[in-house]
Structure 1
Amino acid sequence: MGMEKVSGERKKRRVRQKKKKLSVVQKLYDICREVFADCGPGVVPSVEGIERLKHILNGITAPDVGVSPNMPYFKVKETSTFPKITYLHLSHCDKFSIGIFLLPPSGVLPLHNHPQMTVFSKLLFGTMHIKAYDWVDDGATVSTPEADLSKGEVTPVSVRLAKLKVNSAFTAPCNTSILYPTDGGNMHCFTAITSCAVLDVLGPPYCDPEGRHCQYYRTHPFTCFSVDDKKLPDGEKIEDHAWLEEIDKPASLSVVAAMYNGPKIVEK
């Protein structure tokens, strides 16, 4: 009996030691597998699952994932266009993806959406301005006239009304931000004030064949168009609303992939 007890204790110690050796990113991956297991397009994880992901992401630091402001990706030359943004791929499956965006000073991820997705974003270092919107209506677009002053013409523009949810600068360390399929600022724009690194978890990830492609937008002030059935409720501020027009991927946007050299993830 004594030997059996000693053997059991040794096994427990080995299990504890094995757990201690797990990197933070491996723990993040393992939690994502559990939290997103029963989720799909438009399905938000449980409250408990969201809290688990929030908790581990809030504790992740830049050294945990092997990134720092001294990396060459942040050294940019003077240019008339926006500096290129680097993306480090950590993991990807049909349920979720994990990656890191590296934005040099003045780097911009233009206003874009996250269709049927729940997204967790953790600013690892730097100061970043985030502007985010949610749709106001049920998805209907309206065609409104817009004057082209260069040609002296008026052309129809398809726009949809959105409400401003976030318009602030954030400096690391700060808590993880979460956006949902229809709430929390599903369409957002990132502007790097300093060198920034953002750890992103998307569930599910973008998938063109399934209709979850990244759509970009141009904003128009609410007062630009007059639409009879688009009146704001009492108490709503005009400046907190904008018309969003779908556009092609901006020509100035350059996102390039680079090798992730942080702690490795063992995918299961």
Structure 2
Amino acid sequence: MGIERNLKDGKGGELCEVFDQTNTNDMKSRRNRRHRQWMKMSPVQKLFLACQHVFANASPGIVPSSQHIELLSSILAGIKPEDLGLKPDMPYFTNNNGGTPKITYLHIFECDKFSMGIFCLPPSAVIPLHNHPEMTVFSKLLFGTMHIKSYDWAVNLHAHVSQTETPEKRLAKVKVDADFTAPCNPSILYPNDGGNMHCFTAVTACAVLDVLGPPYSDPDGRHCSYYQTFPFSNFPDGISIAEEEKKEYEWLEEREKPESLQVIVKMYSSPKIVEN
């Protein structure tokens, strides 16, 4: 299908070929027409069509192919704040009322296969540590500086805590603990790797474009869980970890959704996407 060649050549418009399943004598004409259509589309429309293709047969816990991951990453990498009508001086990114900053989520699209949306965070706003059960998540920091701390469960250790003392705590390994400043590459979280549980802290005003496949679904058991953390040294019994590696591990305990978290959901309006 020419996906790898097109991505390596950096010809984003030619990514439309991935949707061309024809095999007739007029294939070249069809491809040229699709190419022209693709070039006229807004970046968010291109992302929407790519998500439809990549997650067409999505199932919980199933990771898209490497080519599909590269496809979505390439499209996300090319999206700029102005493509989505966003500027750092918009009201979404200020905290005029003082207190805990409110986060705005701009809902773009959701179906049973994937969801698309934008988190708008004023300075110091925090999305607390939470998980993405059985999901593959693509995130693009559009502007600003964000501190990200993420974890994966420590599955290769004998992570046992006394059932009589702390049965609800589980050992996790820190995957990322760093500041990121736009422009930067999109990040990808996998169902069991890549930092499936993460926390966002806005160092400056930030906007993050998120694609989740499949999306959260309480009826299907994919609900968002929140966690609090404890140092490894609090419950070290029965686990052998080299001294220099202990700082890479923390205990996570599920908690209720923090009362301080305030997320205002609004519909994304411009540019609009066209559903096929």
Q: TM-score per shorter chain, which class? A: 0.7 to 0.9
| Letter in structure 2 aligned against 1:185 | G
* Correspondence for 2:251 among 243, 253, 261: 243
Aligned length: 249
Checking the alignment, whether the CA contact within 8 Å between 1:144 and 1:159 is kept in structure 2 is no
Cα separation, 1, equivalents of 2:212 and 2:152: 17
Q: CA deviation at 1:84?
A: 0.7
Structure 1 residues 106 and 46, CA, compared in 2 at 3 Å: closer, same or farther? Answer: same
Checking the alignment, whether the CA contact within 8 Å between 1:215 and 1:249 is kept in structure 2 is yes
Post-superposition CA distance 1:99-126 (Å, at most 9, x none)? 0000000000000000000000000000
Per the alignment, in what secondary structure is the counterpart of residue 256 of structure 1? strand
Checking the alignment, whether the CA contact within 8 Å between 1:62 and 1:125 is kept in structure 2 is yes
Map 1:137-148 → 2, pairs under 5 A: 137=155, 142-143=161-162
Checking the alignment, whether the CA contact within 8 Å between 2:135 and 2:213 is kept in structure 1 is yes
* Correspondence for 1:91 among 67, 88, 109: 109
Map 1:13-24 → 2, pairs under 5 A: 16-24=35-43
Structure 1 residues 225 and 91, CA, compared in 2 at 3 Å: closer, same or farther? Answer: same
Percent identity for Structure 1 against Structure 2 = 58
Post-superposition CA distance 1:66-115 (Å, at most 9, x none)? 111111111213534x2110000111011100000000000000000000
Q: Does residue 127 of the first structure (1) align with residue 145 of the second (2)?
A: yes
State the match for 2:263 in structure 1: 255
Higher RCO (CA < 8 A, seq sep 6+): 1
TM-score with structure 1 length normalisation?
0.86
Cα separation, 2, equivalents of 1:76 and 1:157: 39
Q: CA deviation at 1:16?
A: 4.9
| Letter in structure 1 aligned against 2:105 | Y
CA RMSD between the two structures: 2.4
Structure 1 residues 50 and 225, CA, compared in 2 at 3 Å: closer, same or farther? Answer: same
Q: Does residue 217 of the first structure (1) align with residue 227 of the second (2)?
A: yes
* Correspondence for 2:96 among 77, 93, 99: 77
Q: Which has the higher strand share?
A: 1
Q: Does residue 68 of the first structure (1) align with residue 87 of the second (2)?
A: yes
State the match for 1:231 in structure 2: 240
Cα separation, 2, equivalents of 1:11 and 1:37: 22
Cα separation, 1, equivalents of 2:161 and 2:219: 27
Q: Does residue 173 of the first structure (1) align with residue 173 of the second (2)?
A: no
Q: Does residue 194 of the first structure (1) align with residue 204 of the second (2)?
A: yes
Which one has a bigger Cα radius of gyration? 1
Checking the alignment, whether the CA contact within 8 Å between 1:129 and 1:168 is kept in structure 2 is yes
